[in-house]
Amino acid sequence: MAAPSDKFSLASLSLGEFLAKVASTAEPVPAGGSVAAFTGAASAALLMLACGVLQRHHTKGITQVQERAAELQQRLLDLVDEDAQAFQAFLEMKRSGRDTGAVVTRTSHTPLVIGRACADVVDLIRHIEALPRMGAILGDLRAARHLAQAALVSTIDIAEQDIGLHTDLSEQQAMRDAIAELRRR
């Protein structure tokens, strides 16, 4: 879910401004989920770089991977804001004393969406890493894979923590099942 254009977007900040917001105790967001989404987006960007280099060397089958990486990068940038907005809505719900299942669902499912996108980035990177004669770009691909994997693990940790937000046992089990599926990737 992309942030509406009339709202503030964390993804539009400079890297320094974003990191300052993460480090600030003045606001509760951005935090872990947004940082994981940003890390996944950066991993997708490194993959796009590698694809561009490989295209210059006339490696076949790269265009589709590069296009998918661009889609994932944008999706993950959108999720930087979505995660922050979901957590803000959750905190507002807690302050008001209301129990809104939709807010809990949004808050707990956003890390799973981030995790799936990061897992997709990892899969694409593995596909490219398997190509022969990678040269110096292999180091960038490996960095991208490690970063996307770290973001994936972070989102699983956050999702596990969020299971307890659900009072419905079937929703708790659905979360556990989704987490188990992410771990298999």
**pLDDT tens, N- to C-terminus, the chain (185 residues):** 444 445 779 988 999 999 999 999 998 889 999 999 999 999 999 999 999 999 998 888 899 999 999 999 999 999 999 999 999 999 999 898 887 888 999 999 999 999 999 999 999 999 999 988 778 899 999 999 999 999 999 999 999 999 999 999 999 999 999 999 999 98
Residue type, 31: A
State if pTM tops 0.95.
no
Contacts of 145 (CB under 8 A, 6+ apart): 43, 122, 125, 126, 129
Q: Which CATH number fits domain 28-184: 3.10.20.30, 3.40.630.10, 3.40.1190.20, 1.20.120.680?
A: 1.20.120.680
Which of 14, 10, 59, 58 minimizes the C-alpha distance to 30?
10
Domain boundaries, the chain: 28-184
In sequence order, which ranges of the chain are alpha helices (DSSP H)?
15-23, 32-56, 63-96, 101-129, 137-162, 169-184
Q: Which two tokens stand for residue 180?
A: 């188990």
Which of 76, 68, 81 minimizes the C-alpha distance to 41?
76
Structure-derived torsion over alpha carbons of residues 179, 151, 111, 77, reported in degrees to the nearest 10: -140
